[in-house]
Homo-oligomer: A and B are copies of this chain.
Amino acid sequence: MKPSVVTSEPNGHHCDDCAVRGAAVCSSLDAAELREFEHLGRRVHFDSGETVFSEEDITTSFYNVLEGVMRLYKLLPDGRRQIVGFALPGDFLGMNLSGRHNFSADSIGVVKVCQFPKGPFGRFIEDRPQLLRRINELAIRELSQARDHMVLLGRRSADEKVATFLLGWRERLVALNGPSDMVALPMSRQDIADYLGLTIETVSRTFTKLERLGVIEIIHGGISLLDPARVEAMAAA
């Protein structure tokens, strides 16, 4: 939200100790390539609520999320907001055709990214088709998720939306941190509403309803899934 104050750590970073090395774009590179790749990017730190890039900005960099959560969103002229996704460690951002970002991204809590200037990164890809293939894989996966989300936005009820969101978000956290029924929700209720095409009030009421039904417990900074099966039943329709 505020102008982004970027703190970079020009030195002392290595892909070796990078938590997302195996999952991110980098997974397509061998040890030697990784060493070269390392010098292309630099780690950048964002405090909570900073803008990483804005829709319509000229794309100058690609980003690999290392740590934290980002909201990715589009705004209508009158201020209505649709969150098109949340980025987590391992996600790759910045691909586009027009040379401009087609959504905005800002940090939810502290975020660390690996930032690659567009030019050098483009040249590095040039003669590494396996990296291009990896990027293509990530794009296709996102496309599939985008279509699932269209179904949710266009055809699901508020209850189904919230239940589906909780399960999907849990799945992503599980893939990162291992199984747990505690689901951390670092984003605000407004963020969840803007992701699901609802209002903050409806999200809040639905959470309360799920808690009263005994299927979740609302805890500080998230929820606890008491009855995953019932939540799945609500999500399925």
Q: Which residues of B contact A76 (CB under 8 A)?
A: 151, 155-156, 237
Most chain B CB neighbours (cut-off 10 Å) among A76, A144, A154, A155: A154
Beta-carbon contact of B151 and A95 below 8 Å: no
**If the complex has contacts A132-B136, A140-B97, are A150 and B80 also in contact, measured as CB distance less than 8 A?**
no
Chain A residues 121-179 with CB under 8 Å of chain B are 129, 132-133, 135-137, 139-144, 146-151, 153-156
Chain A residues 60-89 with CB under 8 Å of chain B are 74, 76-78, 80-82, 84
**If the complex has contacts A132-B136, A150-B149, A153-B197, are A141 and B102 also in contact, measured as CB distance less than 8 A?**
no
Q: Which residues of B contact A140 (CB under 8 A)?
A: 95-97, 139
Distance A102 CA – B143 CA, assembled complex (angstroms): 10
Beta-carbon contact of A197 and B82 below 8 Å: no
- Dominant SS at the A interface? helix
**If the complex has contacts A132-B129, A132-B136, A139-B143, are A151 and B97 also in contact, measured as CB distance less than 8 A?**
no
Q: Closest B-chain residue to A79, C-beta based?
A: B237
Distance A102 CA – B191 CA, assembled complex (angstroms): 27
Chain A residues close to B by CB (< 8 Å): 74, 76-78, 80-82, 84, 95-97, 102-103, 129, 132-133, 135-137, 139-144, 146-151, 153-156, 194, 196-197, 236-237
Nearest 7 A-B pairs (CB), nearest first?
A154-B197, A146-B146, A153-B153, A82-B151, A139-B139, A153-B154, A129-B129
